[in-house]
Structure 1
């Protein structure tokens, strides 16, 4: 480049002839003429033809592979490294650079690497919110787990909300919306989704979708319009797509460790508040929190929360168990062998039989496990009291009051003790758990190990209502009402003693 500059200055500035420049610069005449003819002062070398002597015999095979991969989705196409490995297996001895250069040129000619052009999006306050899921790795209770995190983002203020669940199911989607609307204080007019199978049954023409009925009911309850992106068009909700990547680096790396999912969600909410203190990306003179306060007034204010459950019809077994999500839950023995309705929430399970709640459990995600409630089997114990000793529901009865647990151990040492304890369990439905527990404690303090004594104590503890007065007809009224006199009994005793003395 310096030589070009000197030659051009000699000719145009100093008015030297080409012959003089050739003699002084020791260059050929053709070189000097080429420099003066060309206005381009750069000195970069562009190779017009790249010889590939080793790759030449393998080009047809490489082109065949590239043509086949061009019809596949982008993530399923082989990269240049993999193509070089496969060519090497077929006898190619050249370098990787030749393969990489050929693949790049071929794809540019086939227009497979050209990036798409996008149009910037702008949203009005309270108009739109975006939603997506991400998969993260955390440690809960000392166990490494893979969880799903629901991401919400208000498109105008950029305010975000995060909530974690063990997995991605419809009831988790519904509960995530409940949590987000409670956090934001309302809902936007539209919420933009991709096409998750949990809420979209079928993709119809254009933007039309066959939505899950339960999800559609929630959208109607909160008065927002669900808008689905076109298939494979994640840029239509690009804010939350970018948020998924950023939040993973900002919050979930290094790996988070918490004792429970509730503590993790509390931490995520704190992080959402912290991230809202950053400057807004477009209104840099304000923070995200300040812009959100302006947008909050335009949100659709939340009414009562939506019942975030899904219903499933199932049949209770003859052991009073129903199965859902690879876990068994007990129901009241009155529903054994009958069809029941199971309502699955994100954190609990309700079971309904004939419009009556017959079971309520904390939801468990342990596969092939069983969640027992011993109180569901009390009616069955009346007929089979011997099952108290070896019945699986009664092996680990953790919520039994301490006094009743001690009474159970005491009665287990005597004959017929199981039947007596079943009588105490049956008394709970009539008198309540706390009164029965107090009566058991009084019996233990008195050293009495007997169910009849406890039942008698419960009966006497109940307040007896005074009987209503009876209107007696005048005909039956006594002229002289009898007076209770216990001394008459003593007189009779004395007469009996005299009689024995005479005889």
Structure 2
């Protein structure tokens, strides 16, 4: 811009374009062009002297017609060569430089892209139409949700019947084989049968990406329910386009309006309600709603097995000195009465079971964070009876409701052992029932003790219902009391 300003200053000084060109060492046409642009801006014909995104198109001097023709000939020969022995851009560039043409790899790539755009293969898709109950599709998609005030990307399993477009969706914490099985089982139970074939992406959970062999556990699952699995070709999402669109369709309908939930179960309930509305409404290129089309497809489904597939995995675990086992960076408590140091851990998408021999020792809700504690206070009552001083500052006690902690600090300070019978009530009732009894006693100004709490809980849980008797079949007339008075007066 400073050069243009210098041209204008010299032209105003000399009044000659030739003189300005000689002094600056540039062409007279260049001086005339920029003086004209300055004048156009002053007259309002143009908005700026130099465009912001100025593109200088300079013809490629090295790419002669001879070189261009040679590149095109090589690309045409590639069609008859084996796929793994065709010329690529690097090989063509190396070949031309070897012939004495100093050409860059970028120029060769640009010419190859231009040739493919004009002469390359055009992808053509074949429209498919499936019979009722013949085909279903499965896919995972990410959705952004705020669960318990924490934002995260949660996998959403989507399944759809191609013929009727009947949809199913569920949100999970993970994207493993357990979640895949769980989505299938829920989908089959919702349909009341099993489709003949199900199509998938090239998911590593069900198909080994190197050997292209099916996961043995997944094959057992498919044989158990009697469907035939198929996978699409790599980078060929159009082969499973119905479900690819269903993931985004359900995600927009369900979670565009609302994306914050207190728990994942609440999110799944909301998603199920939304999918039910979708299945009850009209859909694209279908004469009837999906819920009506499902009735026709159910006639061709395979029946459900008599027993449901056992969807869990097991592993051995060692019990720590704190009487818990670690799993996925979270901790699950074990009853302190269990004598061994090892047990079997069975886990499903939602539940973690701790098994010792043939006995289920504990059952916890599965945690998916980091360092979370799934403790059951009743698992430590025996240890607390021997070490009552450890109760107030223990992690498991601080997980309880503030009302229960307040009883210890207000009425049982320094008497932790006397407070333990109150905690033993967790073996009989839930925390909600115990809190209800505590609030009832505090409202009447009574100190919550083991005896008073047990009395209130028993009264609430064992209160007899009101008994209603049927109407008496015998009807008696209303007595005439005047006759009674007559007899009292001696019959007078």
Q: Deviations over 1:133-163 (max 9, x none)?
A: 1112233344332111111011222211111
Q: Distance in 2 between matches of 1:166 and 1:141?
A: 13
Q: Distance in 1 between matches of 2:121 and 2:251?
A: 28
Q: Distance in 2 between matches of 1:439 and 1:145?
A: 37
Asked if residue 171 in structure 1 is aligned to residue 178 in structure 2, the reply is yes
Structure 2 partner of 1:345: 348
Alpha-carbon shift at residue 256 of structure 1 (Å): 3.0
Q: Which of these residues, 299, 302, 306, is aligned with residue 300 of structure 1? A: 302
Asked if residue 223 in structure 1 is aligned to residue 232 in structure 2, the reply is no
Structure 2 partner of 1:152: 159
TM-score under structure 1 length normalisation: 0.60
Q: Secondary structure at the match of 2:300?
A: coil
What's the RMSD between the two structures over aligned residues? 4.6
Q: Secondary structure at the match of 1:379?
A: helix
Larger radius of gyration: 1
Structure 1 partner of 2:214: 210
| Correspondences of 1:380-399 after superposition (within 5 Å) | 380-398=383-401
Name which of structure 1's ranges 100-109 and 311-320 shifts more when overlaid on structure 2: 100-109
Q: Secondary structure at the match of 1:182?
A: helix
Alpha-carbon shift at residue 390 of structure 1 (Å): 2.4
Q: Distance in 1 between matches of 2:191 and 2:331?
A: 36
Alpha-carbon shift at residue 118 of structure 1 (Å): 3.2
Q: Distance in 2 between matches of 1:456 and 1:249?
A: 51
Structure 1 partner of 2:413: 413
Rate the CA distance shift 1:447–1:176 in 2: closer, same or farther, 3 A. Answer: closer
Rate the CA distance shift 1:164–1:405 in 2: closer, same or farther, 3 A. Answer: same
Q: Distance in 2 between matches of 1:239 and 1:439?
A: 55
Q: Which of these residues, 177, 201, 209, is aligned with residue 194 of structure 1? A: 201
Q: Secondary structure at the match of 1:177?
A: helix
Alpha-carbon shift at residue 425 of structure 1 (Å): 4.6
Q: Distance in 2 between matches of 1:339 and 1:377?
A: 18
Q: Secondary structure at the match of 1:139?
A: strand
Structure 1 partner of 2:282: 278
Q: Deviations over 1:51-92 (max 9, x none)?
A: 9336749x99xx9xxx9xxx99xxxx9xxxxxxxxxxxxxx9
Q: Distance in 1 between matches of 2:258 and 2:426?
A: 48
Q: Distance in 1 between matches of 2:424 and 2:301?
A: 53
**Contact 1:126 1:188 (C-alpha < 8 Å) held by counterparts:** yes
Rate the CA distance shift 1:101–1:196 in 2: closer, same or farther, 3 A. Answer: closer
Q: Which of these residues, 301, 320, 323, is aligned with residue 323 of structure 2? A: 320
Alpha-carbon shift at residue 130 of structure 1 (Å): 0.8
Alpha-carbon shift at residue 103 of structure 1 (Å): 5.4
Asked if residue 131 in structure 1 is aligned to residue 133 in structure 2, the reply is no
Alpha-carbon shift at residue 368 of structure 1 (Å): 2.2
Asked if residue 105 in structure 1 is aligned to residue 114 in structure 2, the reply is yes
Instruction: Give the number of equivalent residue pairs.
Output: 367
**Contact 2:398 2:405 (C-alpha < 8 Å) held by counterparts:** no
* Structure 1: gaps of 5 or more residues: 1-49, 78-91, 462-503
Rate the CA distance shift 1:55–1:306 in 2: closer, same or farther, 3 A. Answer: farther
**Contact 1:201 1:212 (C-alpha < 8 Å) held by counterparts:** no
**Contact 2:164 2:293 (C-alpha < 8 Å) held by counterparts:** yes
Rate the CA distance shift 1:446–1:299 in 2: closer, same or farther, 3 A. Answer: same
Q: Secondary structure at the match of 1:386?
A: helix
Alpha-carbon shift at residue 233 of structure 1 (Å): 4.0
Alpha-carbon shift at residue 171 of structure 1 (Å): 2.1
Q: Distance in 2 between matches of 1:440 and 1:135?
A: 43
Alpha-carbon shift at residue 356 of structure 1 (Å): 1.8
Name which of structure 1's ranges 371-380 and 126-135 shifts more when overlaid on structure 2: 371-380
Name which of structure 1's ranges 422-431 and 163-172 shifts more when overlaid on structure 2: 422-431
Structure 2 partner of 1:473: none
Q: Deviations over 1:467-492 (max 9, x none)?
A: xxxxxxxxxxxxxxxxxxxxxxxxxx
Q: Which of these residues, 122, 144, 151, is aligned with residue 115 of structure 1? A: 122
**Contact 1:411 1:418 (C-alpha < 8 Å) held by counterparts:** no
Alpha-carbon shift at residue 388 of structure 1 (Å): 1.6
Structure 1 partner of 2:382: 379
Alpha-carbon shift at residue 446 of structure 1 (Å): 11
Q: Distance in 2 between matches of 1:449 and 1:252?
A: 45
**Contact 1:333 1:379 (C-alpha < 8 Å) held by counterparts:** yes
**Contact 1:189 1:300 (C-alpha < 8 Å) held by counterparts:** yes
Q: Distance in 1 between matches of 2:453 and 2:261?
A: 47
**Contact 2:194 2:303 (C-alpha < 8 Å) held by counterparts:** yes
Q: Deviations over 1:160-182 (max 9, x none)?
A: 11111123122222221222223
Q: Which of these residues, 146, 161, 165, is aligned with residue 168 of structure 2? A: 161
| Correspondences of 1:213-292 after superposition (within 5 Å) | 213=217, 215-253=218-256, 256-276=259-279, 277-279=281-283, 281=285, 284-292=286-294
| Correspondences of 1:33-112 after superposition (within 5 Å) | 52-53=59-60, 56=63, 102=111, 104-108=113-117
Q: Secondary structure at the match of 2:124?
A: coil
Q: Secondary structure at the match of 2:143?
A: strand
**Contact 1:171 1:344 (C-alpha < 8 Å) held by counterparts:** no
